[in-house]
Amino acid sequence: MENLKVANIILGYDKAKPIIERHLELWKSTCDILVFVMPEDACYTVPNHYTLIHDKSSHHGTGIIKRTMFAFKKALEINVDIFCFMEYDAVMLKRPDISEDRQVQVNLAGWNDPTYSEEGYFFKAKFFCHTPFIFTRKALEHFCTVMDEEPFEIGYPCRWFGGQLEKHNIPFFDLLGNGEGFTRNTIDSPKDLINALNEGRYAIHGIKSDEVYNVINNNKTSI
């Protein structure tokens, strides 16, 4: 397993530049190649790193779903064994563990309330996931052959991705549920994050502020 090559693929946009620059060294430390995926109308080209550009910028909607699907397919051109897709506010504190039951790994962030609707839409997927989304090459090849836009879930990538795993019966390892991940839309409690790091959780999503990032730098343990 030590010889497996890892690509970190980061989905970002121009207004996330300060966060991207802050996280850059940490992303580089856990992979063999670092690639960025940006919208064509809000692109920040990270110096000395590959940047793929696709479709229009959007928090949710058609653009972000098409760009996410593009990232999955384009990643297969990278000569690595493991693919770790992250939004700009996510980090891995170590390289992924890979085993037979870890061909796909995610943070299972929550379960859908069937009575809840947004923009008049009732979400169809039973659950939603936060990054990191981690694939072996074989698993990503399979995912790319079956993925489609439905259920579209108003174009929220976290809900669309959960819907794809459910729809296509793709087994996955839940990093959050197995004590290895920690996720919030935005982490705003340093105490909760410190507890998570002390528990050995290393797949972290929701790091927006310098304060929270500094908590990681000051409290991360060798895992």
What's the pLDDT tens digit per position in 11-50? Answer: 999 999 999 999 999 999 999 999 999 999 999 999 999 9
Residue 216 resides in a domain: no
How many Cα atoms sit within 13 Å of 123 on the Cβ side? 26
Residue 183 resides in a domain: no
> Domain range for residue 113?
6-176
Global pTM?
0.96
Q: What is the spatial distance between Cα 26 and Cα 61, in angstroms, rounded to a whole number?
A: 29
Residue 152 resides in a domain: yes
Q: What is the spatial distance between Cα 221 and Cα 67, in angstroms, rounded to a whole number?
A: 34
Give the pLDDT band (50/70/90) at residue 159.
Answer: very high
Overall average pLDDT of the 169-187 stretch: 98
Residue 168 resides in a domain: yes
Give the pLDDT band (50/70/90) at residue 200.
Answer: very high
175: amino acid identity, one letter: L
Q: What is the spatial distance between Cα 70 and Cα 53, in angstroms, rounded to a whole number?
A: 9
Residue 130 resides in a domain: yes
Residue 11 resides in a domain: yes
CATH code: domain of residue 100: 3.90.550.10
Residue 195 resides in a domain: no
Residue 201 resides in a domain: no
CB 14 within 8 A of CB 44: yes
- The reported pLDDT for the residue numbered 203 is 98
- The reported pLDDT for the residue numbered 21 is 97
What's the gap between Cα 215 and its chain centre? 20
Give the pLDDT band (50/70/90) at residue 222.
Answer: very low
**What is the number of domains present in the chain?**
1
